[in-house]
Structure 1
């Protein structure tokens, strides 16, 4: 009997060469890519790779975390600057303008866990940074780039929330309970139409953002998927413990 629905498509292409589990992904904004679409990846071996999506090859490798895993990457709006967070207890600010790859500044962190930081841009020259705090259940908020401490979020005395595993600075919020356990990351497409999750069960799941209706389950990776990221044009990237980065073209942006 023929299937009622066609199976989900396979990846558009696959990037190989990290030689380590892929912990985090981030697309370079079009305004900074100078016509060459770029993807940043952070690996368990402590390296940040910059990929050309035209040639599908690594064009630059950043080594600033002493071999300790890179768990978060984020570009800043003011010029060619990249934040990288590693398990070496450092958050580095890279200058990538005109081919440079130097560390401009860094923040010493207090937590050696796997929790990624988060930023909320407040203007061209300043942003808020949330990172795990000194206590295992605390979150520290800093005003950047001055590194001024805004506050430390602590649970109530009788609460036991445990160690934070994911942070997000938001100006509006919406919640939904997912039925599949073991979600490493959730990301929303820039047009707020769909979202994707990275699953410990080797699957990438795609949902309609407004209704949370399941749209697709993507099965390609042979190990847990640790990260997912959307490009401005809707391209989806997923990184896995299997050392591969899959690139998907689903539900194109209108």
Structure 2
């Protein structure tokens, strides 16, 4: 394995020790990185100056677990204690438009459904709620209570809409990965995976996903043409106690694993060949994101940002 590259820059500011979520906001006018921390503050970094431009806070120390940008350019913030905040842009400022309490305390990240103008949120009793960003109500739920094994599912750990035929993947604490049809509110397939799964990502072009858990294993799975979930292979990570985040780069060439020991492990996505281990962080990685547009300030077509439990964001121009 070749020597790992160095980060392009390290962003350090008055962020909380725990930085949970990142979001690139890149367009013709701005090149920003949003970072949500454990105190509930969203730090807006200007990548042209590598300085904090602005900060948003709810005043309640309610940690930011995920950040979304909608087609209407709203900013959606999922907070730890079952709250979703919707911010509207007012000239150069953000104004809190609506705060929705969906009454479920969970660290599972919400997911955006842009075609429905809604987001997926975890609910109690292993259910998934579809929260409308128009009415601000839970319009429907994916309820597994009728399944014979529903009592063994446990807490929702991670989920991802496939943006294909209203399909969504949901993984549960007990070690079950379910493929849901949102239109029919029905489970099309299930797959047994490691208990205490923490994260997964999925590539629709290959119909292939990768899942990490509280173990040294990465599990590769497929969705077959008949919508059946199938295990493909396993990658063993040496001396890694667990994986907290997985992210497939937008060009589908790389997959990144952020681990509990602070390492960031890079693999080629199609052949799953190990490429590098980045050790800039010394404690658990919480989020890894890629820009979907060129970042002129860093002179790269795809910038990677990683953060975790050390009040620092590392910026990487990697294998471009």
Contact kept? 1:95, 1:104, Cα under 8 Å: yes
* Distance in 1 between residues matched to 2:274 and 2:315, nearest whole Å: 20
* Distance in 1 between residues matched to 2:315 and 2:32, nearest whole Å: 12
**Counterpart secondary structure, 2:113:** strand
**Counterpart secondary structure, 2:91:** helix
1:239 pairs with 2:307: yes
**Counterpart secondary structure, 2:161:** coil
Out of 38, 42, 63, the position equivalent to 1:69 is 63
Contact kept? 1:65, 1:86, Cα under 8 Å: no
Residue of structure 1 in register with 2:131 after alignment: 142
My pick for the range that moved more, 40-49 or 92-101, is 92-101
Which consecutive residues of structure 1, in runs of 5 or more, have no partner in the other structure?
A: none
* Distance in 1 between residues matched to 2:236 and 2:27, nearest whole Å: 35
Cα displacement (A) at 1:30? 2.1
Contact kept? 1:110, 1:132, Cα under 8 Å: no
My pick for the range that moved more, 239-248 or 61-70, is 61-70
Alignment of 1:156-195 (within 5 A): 156-159=147-150, 160-170=152-162, 171=164, 172=204, 173-176=207-210, 177=219, 178-180=235-237, 182-195=242-255
* Distance in 1 between residues matched to 2:58 and 2:255, nearest whole Å: 31
Cα deviation 1:165-223 (Å, max 9, x = unaligned):
22211124423415345221222222222221211121111222223322221111111
1:90 pairs with 2:83: yes
- Say what the alpha-carbon RMSD is for the aligned residues: 1.9
1:41 pairs with 2:24: no
Which consecutive residues of structure 2, in runs of 5 or more, have no partner in the other structure?
A: 165-203, 211-218, 220-234, 293-300
Contact kept? 2:81, 2:104, Cα under 8 Å: no
- The 1:11–1:163 alpha-carbon spacing in structure 2 relative to 1, beyond 3 Å, is same
**Counterpart secondary structure, 2:49:** coil
- Which structure features the higher share of strand residues? 2
* Distance in 2 between residues matched to 1:115 and 1:51, nearest whole Å: 25
- The 1:150–1:19 alpha-carbon spacing in structure 2 relative to 1, beyond 3 Å, is closer
* Distance in 2 between residues matched to 1:113 and 1:226, nearest whole Å: 15
- The 1:16–1:104 alpha-carbon spacing in structure 2 relative to 1, beyond 3 Å, is same
Cα deviation 1:70-123 (Å, max 9, x = unaligned):
1101111223x111111132111111342122111232122212111001221x
Cα deviation 1:4-34 (Å, max 9, x = unaligned):
x541011111011113211111101325xx1
Higher relative contact order (CA closer than 8 Å, sequence separation 6+): 1
Cα deviation 1:134-180 (Å, max 9, x = unaligned):
22x22112343233512233252424122122221112442341534
Contact kept? 1:143, 1:150, Cα under 8 Å: no
**TM-score of the two chains, using structure 2 as the length reference:** 0.70
* Distance in 2 between residues matched to 1:65 and 1:149, nearest whole Å: 29
* Distance in 2 between residues matched to 1:195 and 1:41, nearest whole Å: 21
Out of 9, 12, 19, the position equivalent to 1:13 is 9
State the number of aligned residues. Answer: 240
